[in-house]
Amino acid sequence: MKKFFFIIFIFLSFITQTITEPGTNPILSRLTPSDIFGALGLLFGVTALTKGFTSSSSLSKVYQSSLFLIVCFFLPIMFSYNITGTLIESLILLFLILISVTIFQNFKNNLLDSLFPILMYTMICASILGFYDLISSTIGLPRIFPKRTDGEALSGFRNAGQAGAYYLVMLSILIPLRYSSLYDLVSPRNRKILRVSIIISIIFIFLTGKIAAYIGLAAGILFFLLYKRNFKATFGVIFGVALLSILWVNLETLLPNLHNRVSKKYDSRVTQRIEGTNKGGFMEKNFGAAIQSFEDRPLIGSGIGGFSSKYGTHEVHSTYFKMLGETGLFGVIGYLIFLISFIYMFKYRKFRKVNPYSDYLATMFPFILGCLISWGYTYHLRKREFWILVAVIMIVNYCAINYKQVILEEEV
């Protein structure tokens, strides 16, 4: 029963539309349909939580360090510019960590036959719904999800920025599965589903117009090609670029609103910044305010969730500047410890030649580097997809350790 709740949690994770409108209720305006199923899963899976934090000294470090990160966020709460906001942000992070732990415990022995297929079907479903809504606006059909603005590839997300960040993380999970030796262990049926999910997801992330997601995915692919030097992978990239080029050439005719939106975002976020003509844009002001917050209170910043109460109407949009401006040195230290433990989970990639799970970690690592670049423009700790990613990496580590043990026993 508890596994069923987490399957639904993952499958609905792309729906970030909240129960009530943002800002109307401190709890319901942060709650999504997937969270309800995640909470039910936690209620039925309490025993799995303690096992997740103590499963082994090496595997549990990332979850232990995430709890330390929450402590760094929560301790200065009485000095936050928004005590309620800090409490809610800390509880959201705790909730997602517990979800990740329980997903790890429930799927650690069902990675290939259960968890990966769930992620594939989720991406296909999210993309198809998004394509339908995008086209329906132009031909007069009713939408499934409400639109925020014309020409926005949205699906179940509250905004296209969330969609781009979500797809970047999910592609960082699925593309390495296709191009690592772990692919040999995937069933023929799931191989077909995997290929469809990757192609359809790449098209959708392109349609979101999220420049940070473009940069993260492009960087990940570049690092991957430099690492793998694989002809088949290179051909796949060339094919993908050609496909997107054809789509872009015809986009103005097919979906003019979307074409104008993507063009304007690229012009303002990339071209004008390179030329130096976009001074004083939102991101510059946002990052500048974060630095000001840190200078005002270097130890604790504004308090996580308290930034907009003092320095503007929006939170800090960069993970790294958010840690600096909203949590100060306490939060920066906590995040660095967590980040080190997160990167440390890729240590088993050194066995990639004999261990398909290790090869998957090695193939994923370039895409994680791309995500790290993208997270300089987005806040990833509060994202459901990030903690799903952590659970996947934990499970792959678990499988890599067990696979390595089998090899050692066979050699003996």
312-364 pLDDT tens trace? 788 898 999 999 999 999 999 999 999 999 999 998 666 677 899 999 999 99
Element (H, E) at 161: helix 160-179
What is the reported pTM?
Answer: 0.90
- Residue reference for tokens 């979101």: 208
pLDDT band at 412 (very low <50, low <70, confident <90, very high): very low
**Half-sphere exposure of residue 380, counting CA atoms within 13 Å on the CB side?**
29
Instruction: Give the closest residue to 162 by CA, choosing from 118, 198, 126, 117.
Output: 126
> What's the mean per-residue pLDDT of the chain?
86
Q: Say whether pLDDT at 408 is over 60.
A: no
Distance CA 125, CA 179 (A): 23
Q: Which of 93-107, 269-283, 291-305 has the lowest mean pLDDT?
A: 269-283
Length of the chain in terms of residues written = 412
Burial 155-187 (b: 16+ CB within 10 A, else e): bbbbebbbbbbbbbbbbbbbbbbbbbbbbebbe
Predicted pLDDT of residue 21 = 81
Predicted pLDDT of residue 107 = 95
Question: Could you tell me the CA-to-CA distances from 33 to 13, 14, 181 in Å, in that order?
Answer: 8, 10, 36
Predicted pLDDT of residue 312 = 79
Predicted pLDDT of residue 61 = 86
Predicted pLDDT of residue 410 = 46
Predicted pLDDT of residue 279 = 57
Distance CA 304, CA 86 (A): 5
Q: Which of 19-23, 112-116, 317-321 has the lowest mean pLDDT?
A: 19-23
Residues 39 and 32: beta-carbon distance below 8 Å: no
Distance CA 199, CA 318 (A): 28
Q: Where are the alpha helices (DSSP H) in 180-281?
A: 188-208, 211-228, 231-254, 256-266, 272-275
Domain coordinates in residue numbering, the chain: 116-256+345-378
Predicted pLDDT of residue 272 = 55
Which tens digit of pLDDT belongs to each residue from 364-387?
A: 999 999 999 999 999 999 999 999
